Amino acid sequence: MTLTKKLVGFGATALLALGLAACGNDDGKTEDEGAATGTSTSVGESVNYKITGIDPGAGLMETTEKAIEEYELTDWDLVSGSGAAMTAALKKAYDKEDPIIVTGWTPHWKFAEFDLKFLEDPKGVYGGEEQIRSIGRLGLAEDMPEAHQILSNFHWSQDDMGSVMIAIQNGEKEEVAAQNWIDANEEKVAEWTAGVEKVDGDKIKLAYVAWDSEIASHNVMKLVLEDMGYDVTLTQVEAGPMWTAVADGSVDATLAGWLPLTHKTYADKFEGKYEELGTHTEGVKIGLVVPSYMDIDSIEDLKE
Ligand code: PBE
């Protein structure tokens, strides 16, 4: 794989790019604004008026439908699939320098692998910086005070999350990538478990969706909880069932609460039926993402 080659020697600089990509397009405007509309083929025509989406339950999909409405992209379709299908489509287009528009978020390894940009969102449909929060079922504090404490303490940076994502994308097994990160960040992990007593094989269930960011966080937390004596089950589900499972208590927690905007619909729907345990990752972002070689900068450029 080309990725393997490109990621050799990946260090702090490359990881930082994950975070920088999240900050949008303040790194200077592209020279040739308007070039896309100046040619005979419009952006819309060039991509068949298609935005390549992910799993239908993702907040990013709901928000993109809203963007299509608010920017009056009447001819456009949001095509659903999965996170993996989206990155596969992106890779295929990127290798040929074909135009493509995908739904995207940071942290994500794709910003390290490809030269990409978020489209500006002057109407603010995608919100600003999002947070990723740990969400527990009601009663977790009473039933499992140790896990409750650890999940509430859990906090790391976008670069931490990004480095686990990159390692997995680079071919490392999920658990190995998670363990390597833990080994390299013992002090950080020690803060999550400080003063917490070990348990003796208590069962705990975490639910997550197969988004690359959440695969990273849940694999790390699984190992941390196991080290504290828990018998951990990770259940991979869709976004709706994930929130439902926390709200009805069939799982104990998830680390995949993207708020205040991305999962607002879920959070509102289940208000009072879960406990917010705290933010574990700050400054994350969702939006529409295109390869940098495309001559557009804003979602407004999609409208003809
Ligand atoms: N994501 C990644 C999710 C949350 C995590 C941005 C794709 C979503 O849109 O719901």
pLDDT, tens digit (0-9, with 9 covering 90-100), for 217-228 = 999 999 999 999
Confidence of residue 304 (pLDDT cuts 50, 70, 90): confident
Give residue 40's pLDDT. 67
**pLDDT exceeds 90 at position 113:** yes
Pocket test residue of 161, 211, 255, 259 for ligand 1, highest count of atoms within 8 A of CB: 211
Give residue 112's pLDDT. 95
Mean pLDDT of the chain: 90
Give residue 7's pLDDT. 35
Which residue has better confidence, 134 or 28? 134
- Mean pLDDT of all residues in 55-82: 97
- Mean pLDDT of all residues in 229-237: 98
Rounded to the nearest angstrom, the distance between the alpha carbon of 59 and the centre of ligand 1 is 6
Helices 186-193 and 212-227 pack at an angle, to 10 degrees, of 70
Give residue 41's pLDDT. 86
Q: Which atom of ligand 1 is nearest to the CA of 58?
A: 10
Give residue 63's pLDDT. 98
Rounded to the nearest angstrom, the distance between the alpha carbon of 280 and the centre of ligand 1 is 15
- Mean pLDDT of all residues in 232-236: 98
CA 190 to chain centre: 25
Pocket test residue of 60, 135, 208, 242 for ligand 1, highest count of atoms within 8 A of CB: 60
- How far is the first Cα of the chain from the last one, in angstroms, to the nearest whole number? 38
Pocket test residue of 262, 263, 269 for ligand 1, highest count of atoms within 8 A of CB: 262
Which residue has better confidence, 81 or 11? 81
Which residue has better confidence, 271 or 25? 271
CA 262 to chain centre: 10
- Mean pLDDT of all residues in 68-90: 97
Confidence of residue 257 (pLDDT cuts 50, 70, 90): very high
Q: Which atom of ligand 1 is nearest to the CA of 209?
A: 5
213 Cβ inside 6 Å of ligand 1 = yes
Give residue 12's pLDDT. 40
- pLDDT over 70 for what percent of the chain? 87
Confidence of residue 36 (pLDDT cuts 50, 70, 90): very low
**pLDDT exceeds 80 at position 11:** no
pLDDT tens track for 156-180: 999 999 999 999 999 999 999 999 9
Residues with Cβ within 8 Å of residue 173, at least 6 apart in sequence = none
Q: pTM for this one?
A: 0.87
- pLDDT over 90 for what percent of the chain? 86
59 Cβ inside 6 Å of ligand 1 = yes
d(CA 301, CA 43): 8
Residue type (1 letter), 154: F
Domains and CATH numbers, the chain: 2-128+286-302 (3.40.190.100), 130-285 (3.10.105.10)
Residue 256, Cβ neighbours under 10 Å: how many? 25
Confidence of residue 256 (pLDDT cuts 50, 70, 90): very high
Give residue 293's pLDDT. 98
∠ CA 216-184-281, rounded to 5°: 40
Residues 167 and 181 sit within 8 Å (Cβ to Cβ)? yes
